[in-house]
Amino acid sequence: MALAHSLLAALALGPASGYDLSKVFDSGMSDFWRASSQQIYTELHKLDDRGLIEGTLQQQSNRPQKRVYVLTDAGRTALHEFTRTAPRRPVIRDEMMVKLYAVDSADVEAVIEDLSARAAEAHSRVQQLRQLVAIFRADKSHEEFLSSGGPIGPYLTCLLGIAHELDNAKVCAWIAEVLRAREDGSDEPPPRDPINFGI
């Protein structure tokens, strides 16, 4: 049921439409929780029925009408309660890692390409997240921002997203190199471990 709580968390920062929320799960939050617009619209109706949020139709000039939701007191309480409950183990399902696990029976070239592509995607995602961070922070330093009184949740989540993607990029690029060196069968020295596992 944490999709519901993600929506409450986003609405705790201010009123938003389903369309607005679908972009949250596509930008700052997308490294840790993703949701399709279909899921969001359906879940918003349920939350409204349960009285945790309240939606009102708004006419717009130049744009289709939209339904803007605000958190109710009950919703705010439910969100606070959620933050007091132990989080469940994260769900991760990464097909690329399944491909890597199967690399000995695999089309190795294809696996190397996937790893390289993943590393490249991670880099562009980092660029995107850095821009988001800059927008959050405006002209403030990290320290100033943290003590400035505004909401810091989305900012911190964003920083963790950057860390996650940087790590992703680093390890994928490294494994791609390791596999490439092995494919080439050359006597070049194998790529150095950039992570420091103690290998």
Partner DNA sequence: CAAGTCATGTAAACAGTTACATGATTGT
Partner DNA sequence: ACAATCATGTAACTGTTTACATGACTTG
Q: Which residues bind DNA (CB under 7 A)?
A: 1, 3, 17-20, 22-23, 34-39, 41-42, 44-45, 60, 62-68, 88, 91, 93
Report, in Å, the least distance between residue 122 CB and a copy of itself. Answer: 11
Per CB under 8 A, the segment of 1-9, 41-49, 51-59, 60-68 that binds a copy of itself is 1-9
From DNA, a copy of itself, none, which one binds at residue 107 (CB under 5 to 8 Å depending on kind)? a copy of itself
- Residue 24, token pair as written in the block: 């949250």
Helix (H, G, I), strand (E, B) or coil at 100: helix
Interacting partner of 188 out of DNA, a copy of itself, none (Cβ under 5 to 8 A depending on kind): none
159 binds a copy of itself per the rule CB under 8 A: yes
If one asks whether residue 102 binds a copy of itself (CB under 8 A), the answer comes out as: yes
Give the integer Cα–Cα distance in Å for 154 and 194. Answer: 30
How far is 159 from 146, CA to CA, in rounded Å?
13
Contact (Cβ atoms closer than 8 angstroms) between residue 71 and residue 53: yes
Give the integer Cα–Cα distance in Å for 97 and 109.
15
Residue 63 interaction partner, one of DNA, a copy of itself, none, beta carbon < 5-8 Å per kind: DNA
Taking the complex as a whole, the smallest distance from the CB of residue 140 to DNA amounts, in Å, to 26
Taking CB under 8 A as the criterion, the residue among 48, 54, 82, 180 binding a copy of itself is 82
Work out how close the CB of 165 gets to DNA at its nearest, in angstroms, rounded to a whole number: 19
Tell me how far, at minimum, the Cβ of 135 lies from DNA, in Å: 15
Residue 73 CB, nearest approach to DNA (Å): 22
What gap in Å lies between CA 173 and CA 176, rounded to an integer?
A: 5
The rounded distance, in Å, linking the Cα atoms of 178 and 197 is 15
Determine the length of the chain. 199
- Residue 68 interacts with a copy of itself (CB under 8 A)? no
Q: Could you tell me which residues come within 8 angstroms of residue 77 by beta carbon, excluding any fewer than 6 positions away?
A: none
Separation in Å, CA 6 to CA 2, 12, 19, 23, 86: 6, 10, 15, 13, 15
5 binds, among DNA, a copy of itself, none (CB under 5 to 8 A by kind): a copy of itself
